[in-house]
Structures are given as structure tokens and as C-alpha cells.
Amino acid sequence: MEEAIATAEKYAKKLGITEYDWSVYPSEEEANSIIDGYKSRGESYDEESIRAPQQVILSDNTTYILVSLNGYIRISSDCLLKFPEEFDFSGFDAVNAQKDAITDYLMRHLNVTDIQSPASSVFNMGDNYYSIRVYNKDADSASKLLEYFTMPVRFSISAKGELKSIEIRDYKMYEKLGDYPLITLEEAKELLLKNHYISLSKDVPAESSIFAMQLYVLSDNLVLMPYYAFYIDSSEFAGRYGIYLVPAVRSEYLVNFPSEDDPVHYFWDIITAN
């Protein structure tokens, strides 16, 4: 809790915020509401864990800095920064063509990251919003993979050139669970074809329909886990594909591993290291 408060104050100082109020999630009222929900559904619950602080929120009524105890940080406002008119945010192609200049501008005008050699990717978030994901291009392979897939820093910008939010992952706040042995890509493919995967797609994967594979890192906001991602041609939508994730950690070190008879089809059923 003290580390989360110190982190929020650090970012407030970076943004020049000197007067602010504090709140903690969940409040007593919010915790009571969650518990009442469990009771109404007749489900068991752990009252101590529900009432335990999960986030601290620092606010000056204009800018909000949320710090979760798991290392997720979100800074939001109506406009944290306004880009000059020479920047074009009228469409994805325009934003993508300027991504290096946009990233450089963000790095020079906002002191919110320690990344020394930034690289970036652009994502169209819909509703005239664009996400600039920034990671360290000079990091070692493992760190670069971790940063790229788990969003070390993400800037959300509107089509009007207004920076609306900054999201950051502070890995120093994570606790290392241990070093786990990984399976090979070929072993992962065998598991995929036996229905040991996580996917939103309803297609049953076949080896002939695999057209791309890569190592992937997924987070459920509690645990970071490596996966193999298989891209499968969709039988439902021509020209589209489904993403199938197979845990890269050996199954004996996992809990809730999907069985051949009961594969997992939802990203929120995260498999976690035991």
C-alpha cells in the first residue's frame, strides 16, 4: 500500500500536481456491495480479500492517477496534453506514418517513463481514438517481449490530438513467482491439436489451418504468463483468423489446465503458475 501511494505521488510530481485528494478502492461501501452480490447469488466469498485495498487514487478533480497494487498505473484527464496542429490524427494511416514523431513528442513533453530508446506501435481503438504503445527497442529479447505484449506504456489520443490517458506497467511492483521450464513450439502445437488452448474462436483448430505462430505474454492483472499464440484461418469469416493460446509453461506447474474434453474458450479463464 505504501509503495502504491509513493508511486502515485511520484507521477503527481512529474505532472506538476501539488494539491490533491486521496481515495482507496474498494471503499467500505463498495466492499459491502460486492459482498451483498455474492450473498444474493448464494456464492462463497473471502471477506478479508474483498475488503483488502486494491487501488489508490490520487486526484486534483482534473487529473486522476490510479495505482493498483499489481503494478498497473492509469493517469487520465480531459486533456493531459494537446498536440500542435502539424500532427495529423485524422486516420490510422496518418497516425501510423507519424508514430516516431508522436512518440518523440510524448517523450520530450511528458516525464512519465524511464524508457531511453523508445519504439512504438499504433492501434486503432475505435470511436476516433488511437493507442500508442511504447516499449524499449534496446531491451534484451525477453524484456522486449514482455514489454511489447503487456503494455509498459500506452498513450490514448483522440482524433483532436488530445492525450486522454496514460497507462503504465511497473514491473518493480510484481513479485517473481519463480523460474518455470517451458515447452517447445512443437510440443505446444501438439497440445493445440488436442484442444489444450484458450481462444474466443469456436473453430476447432486443424494443423492445415495454422498460418502463423509466435511467443506471447498475457496478463490477468495478477500474473504474467508466457504462451504460444497460433493464428488459425477462420471457417466463419473469410480472410480472418482466430488466435489460440497454449501455455508455454509445462503443464505440471499449472493449475486449471484445460483438458481435451473441456478446452477453455475464454481469455478471462487465465491459467496461472502454481
* pLDDT, tens only, 152-211: 788 999 999 999 999 987 766 666 667 778 888 899 898 888 878 877 676 677 778 777
pTM over 0.75: no
106: pLDDT strictly greater than 90: yes
Q: Which DSSP symbol is given to 127?
A: T
* Alpha carbons 82 and 158: distance in angstroms, whole number: 10
Angstrom CA distances, 156 to 4, 43, 64, 75, stand at 23, 38, 15, 10
15: pLDDT strictly greater than 50: yes
Domain ranges of the chain: 1-69, 76-174, 185-273
> Tell me: the pLDDT tens digits for 177-194?
677 788 888 998 988 888
Looking at residue 269, its pLDDT comes to 39
39: pLDDT strictly greater than 90: yes
- Residue 169: CB atoms within 10 Å: 21
Mean pLDDT within 34-53: 91
